[in-house]
C-alpha cells in the first residue's frame, strides 16, 4: 500500500526518520557520522531548513527540522543528503547499491508540549537503546547543544525553545529538567505511529487546522 502524500507547511517543524536499507548500518566509523553531519549542514543551508535536534544511531537517523519559506525545502534537503551521503559511504566502504530505505518517514509537529516531546524522543534514543546511561554521554546528538550550550553550527534553536527563558543558561536548565524522567509509553507510541503514517503529531484541534490548510 503506498504511503500517503506528505503534508509540509512553511515554518512548521517536522520529525524525520531516515533508515538504513534492510536495517543495515549507515555509520561504521566516527568519520562516517562526521561526514553525514557536514553534508546535513550543507544541505540545510542550501534549501533553507533549520535543524533543531538530531541523533545518529547505527542504522538510522532522527531529525527535528523546520522549513523556513519553501516547505519543499525539507524534501529537497533529504534527497540531496541521502544521495550525497550514500555516494560517500559506498566509496568509503567499497560497496554498491542503495544505502537508505527508498523513502524517509516524516510527520508535522505542533504546539509546545508536542514539540518538546519530540526533542526528548530524538535525544533519548541512545538511552532507550541501552547505548548510554544519560543523553549527554552520547556524542552524535544535539543534546549537549540544547541542554548544555555546547556550540554546534548545525543546530538552530526553535522559537519555542528560545521563549522558554530569557537567558541561555536558564533555557538550558529548563531543557535539562525535561529529561529527568522518560517519555510515557503512550507518547512514544504516538510519535512512532504518526511518523510512520505521515500524520501530524499534535492535539486534535491542531490536527484539524493542519488538515484544513493542506492544499
Report pLDDT for 133. Answer: 96
pLDDT band for position 1 (cuts 50, 70, 90): very low
Asked if residue 213 belongs to a domain, the reply is: no
pLDDT reading at 215 higher than 60: no
Closest CA to 200 of 119, 123, 111: 111
Asked if residue 67 belongs to a domain, the reply is: yes
Strand partners, 106: 16
| Nearest-angstrom CA–CA distance, 64 and 143 | 12
Asked if residue 212 belongs to a domain, the reply is: no
pLDDT reading at 152 higher than 60: yes
For residue 86, the enclosing domain spans 14-197
Report pLDDT for 102. Answer: 79
Window from 75-79, 133-137, 210-214 with minimum mean pLDDT? 210-214
In this prediction, residues 11-16 reach a mean pLDDT of 95
Asked if residue 2 belongs to a domain, the reply is: no
In this prediction, residues 15-31 reach a mean pLDDT of 95
Report pLDDT for 10. Answer: 85
In this prediction, residues 167-174 reach a mean pLDDT of 97
Residue 1 makes CB contacts below 8 A (sequence gap 6+) with: none
pTM: 0.94
The tens digit of pLDDT for each residue in 70-111 reads: 999 999 999 999 999 999 999 999 999 999 987 899 999 999
Q: What is the CATH number of the domain that holds 147?
A: 3.30.70.1290
Q: What percentage of the chain carries pLDDT values higher than 70?
A: 96
In the structure grid, which three cell numbers stand for residue 47, read together? 534549501
Asked if residue 8 belongs to a domain, the reply is: no
Closest CA to 16 of 210, 211, 162, 194: 194
pLDDT reading at 50 higher than 70: yes
Asked if residue 210 belongs to a domain, the reply is: no
Asked if residue 215 belongs to a domain, the reply is: no
State the average pLDDT for the chain: 94
| Nearest-angstrom CA–CA distance, 6 and 75 | 9
Asked if residue 202 belongs to a domain, the reply is: no
Q: Specify the number of domains making up the chain.
A: 1
Report pLDDT for 4. Answer: 59
Amino acid at each position: 500500500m503506498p504511503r500517503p502524500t506528505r503534508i509540509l507547511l512553511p515554518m512548521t517543524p517536522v520529525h524525520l526518520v531516515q533508515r538504513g536499507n534492510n536495517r543495515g548500518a549507515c555509520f561504521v566509523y566516527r568519520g562516517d557520522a562526521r561526514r553525514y553531519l557536514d553534508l546535513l549542514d550543507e544541505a540545510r543551508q542550501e534549501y533553507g531548513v533549520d535543524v533543531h535536534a538530531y541523533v545518529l544511531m547505527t542504522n538510522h537517523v532522527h531529525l527535528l527540522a523546520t522549513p523556513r519559506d519553501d516547505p519543499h525545502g525539507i524534501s529537497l534537503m533529504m534527497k540531496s543528503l541521502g544521495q550525497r551521503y550514500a555516494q560517500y559511504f559506498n566509496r568509503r566502504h567499497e560497496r554498491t547499491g542503495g544505502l537508505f530505505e527508498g523513502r524517509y518517514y516524516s510527520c508535522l509537529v505542533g504546539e509546545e508540549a508536542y514539540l518538546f516531546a519530540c526533542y526528548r524522543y530524538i535525544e533519548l534514543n541512545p538511552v532507550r537503546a541501552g547505548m548510554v546511561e544519560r543523553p549527554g554521554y552520547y556524542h552524535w546528538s544535539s543534546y549537549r547543544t540544547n541542554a548544555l550550550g555546547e556550540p554546534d553550527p548545525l543546530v538552530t534553536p526553535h522559537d519555542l525553545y528560545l521563549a522558554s527563558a530569557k537567558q541561555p543558561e536558564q533555557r538550558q536548565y529548563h531543557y535539562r529538567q525535561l529529561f529527568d524522567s522518560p517519555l510515557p509509553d503512550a507518547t512514544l507510541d504516538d510519535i512512532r505511529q504518526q511518523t510512520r503514517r505521515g500524520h501530524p503529531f499534535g492535539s486534535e484541534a491542531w490536527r484539524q487546522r493542519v488538515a484544513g490548510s493542506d492544499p
